Chains A and B, each alone.
Chain A
Amino acid sequence: MDIDDLLQELDDNKVLGGTRDINDLTQSWIAERTAPEILPFQTALLERLMERIRQQIELVETQTGNLDPKTNFCLILLQTELERVKFLVRGYLRARIHKIDKYSIYILTTPSIRGRLSPPELSYLKSHLGLLNSHFLASFLRRFPEQLRRLDDKAGGISMVEEPDLDGAVFCKVVRDIEDNIARIPGTDSEFKLTKGDVYVVRYSAVREFVLRGEIELI
């Protein structure tokens, strides 16, 4: 193989990789916005993108002050894209924090879900819960009888812990050919076939496994 071909191929990979990463980030953001539960943190994807963002910021910073109009205009384009990518990352992380805040006790006490958080997210969650606990304690719980002070109290059949509604309706699109392509709606006899390209409104629980495997995208 010719060295130039090889280099060209590597270049192509890099270019396509960038496009793919942005597409994946976009999809992760949409999924995180629309799924009732928190999804696995995209560690490798975020690492690659944050590195690229850092490089672009550096490039813009070193070129700033260059008054050549051509360079100047290119910098405007780079910055415009940079803001778009930053918005996506921000939206992704904020959508996650929103769920982490809302379902904190549930996430912390469900090992399979807790593992979906990045280490900084998990430490944020724990500290946040700690703060809430002391705040409620200081505001009123400390004057409560001992046995009523817990926050994760489930006695009497009414849980004080908020859990995601996995049966909530979601909008989704089948993006791959699926081998075992029958979706069943839990608790009913209802089932339907998933064909690539189909768009459905359906309970999240019926498509959850397909979503986690990337066969169905939430929209």
Chain B
Amino acid sequence: MNNNNHSASGPLTPAEVAFLCEAQSVTIIPRQRLDGLDLIGGYIPPFHPPQRTTIPLWLALLLKRQRRCNIVPPPWLSAPNIERILKTETENQNLFCPDLPYRWLETAELLLEGCPDDLGGDDGELRVLLRGLREVRQGKVREGLGKLEATYLQMNNLGLLEITEVRGFAKGVVDGLRKIGASTGVGLVLGWMMMISRWGWCFISMVFWTG
């Protein structure tokens, strides 16, 4: 009844994050000819099967459902690669691997749902690996956030859907600290947490604030 149950306001919902993800480009192999298409978001040139072409993901998924194309999965979305990343993530508890694109999780979910047969063999294995990866990273975020009170948090290398999932919690940390700070009025930079190496590892740097 109140404004909370529809989404005119507030952070994006997972369904909306998926919607945004569908706007990104993906490579396809057309199976049928298609005339050029003058979309609002740009012109789609005619298809000449089996010549590859790049189109928005929503369009690719629609054509795939109609068996009019195959989708070429992005290079990072393969079982061996995800397995490698999962291993690194597990071995380095304080780090986030930067080898994943910003929309990795939602892209993977959409492709697993829309074109499992295009993902090169065993999509079951890929699913298991992705679930593992998601859990490992989520655990780190929660642990990192739970330990501190900060005036800001850096969250580089986290994906948009991952951010969406921890959003309420992270916002609570930053908002909550401000309220404590507001009552005492003292702010002070204290230090860092979760250090970083220079090999492109992500970090969450924190500046503490004493009350």
Alpha-carbon distance A22/B24, docked complex (angstroms): 12
Given A26-B20, A188-B187, the answer on whether A95 and B9 have CB atoms closer than 8 Å is yes
Question: Which residues of chain B in 1-45 are interfacial with respect to chain A, using CB atoms and an 8 Å cutoff?
Answer: 3, 7-12, 19-20, 23, 34-35, 37, 39-43
- In contact, B9 and A70 (Cβ under 8 angstroms): no
Contact partner, B9, options A15, A81, A99, Cβ 8 Å: A99
Instruction: Decide if A97 is an interface residue (CB 8 Å cutoff).
Output: yes
Question: Which residues of chain A in 60-95 are interfacial with respect to chain B, using CB atoms and an 8 Å cutoff?
Answer: 70, 73-74, 77-78, 80-82, 84-85, 87, 91, 94-95
Closest to A82 in B: B40
Contacts of A168 in B (CB 8 A): 171, 175
Contact partner, B8, options A15, A97, A200, Cβ 8 Å: A97
**Could you give, for residues 134-171 of chain B, a 1 whenever the CB lies within 8 Å of some chain A CB and a 0 otherwise?**
00000000000000000111111110100100010011
- In contact, B8 and A18 (Cβ under 8 angstroms): no
A215 → chain B closest CB, angstroms: 16
Given A33-B10, A84-B58, A98-B8, the answer on whether A77 and B155 have CB atoms closer than 8 Å is no
Instruction: Decide if B196 is an interface residue (CB 8 Å cutoff).
Output: no
Contacts of B188 in A (CB 8 A): 188-189
- In contact, A94 and B8 (Cβ under 8 angstroms): yes
- In contact, A22 and B170 (Cβ under 8 angstroms): no
B178 → chain A closest CB, angstroms: 6
Instruction: Decide if B62 is an interface residue (CB 8 Å cutoff).
Output: yes
Closest to A81 in B: B39
Instruction: Decide if A124 is an interface residue (CB 8 Å cutoff).
Output: no
- In contact, A188 and B181 (Cβ under 8 angstroms): yes
Contacts of A30 in B (CB 8 A): 12, 20
Given A33-B12, A197-B156, the answer on whether A77 and B35 have CB atoms closer than 8 Å is no
Determine the interface band of chain A, counting residues with CB < 8 A from chain B: 35 or more
Given A34-B11, A188-B181, A188-B209, the answer on whether A18 and B175 have CB atoms closer than 8 Å is no
Contacts of B209 in A (CB 8 A): 188, 190
Instruction: Decide if B128 is an interface residue (CB 8 Å cutoff).
Output: no
7 contacts between A and B (CB under 8 A): A74-B34, A169-B178, A185-B151, A192-B207, A199-B156, A200-B154, A202-B153
* Interface residues, chain B, with chain A CB atoms under 8 Å away: 3, 7-12, 19-20, 23, 34-35, 37, 39-43, 58-59, 62, 151-158, 160, 163, 167, 170-171, 173-175, 178, 181, 185, 187-189, 207, 209
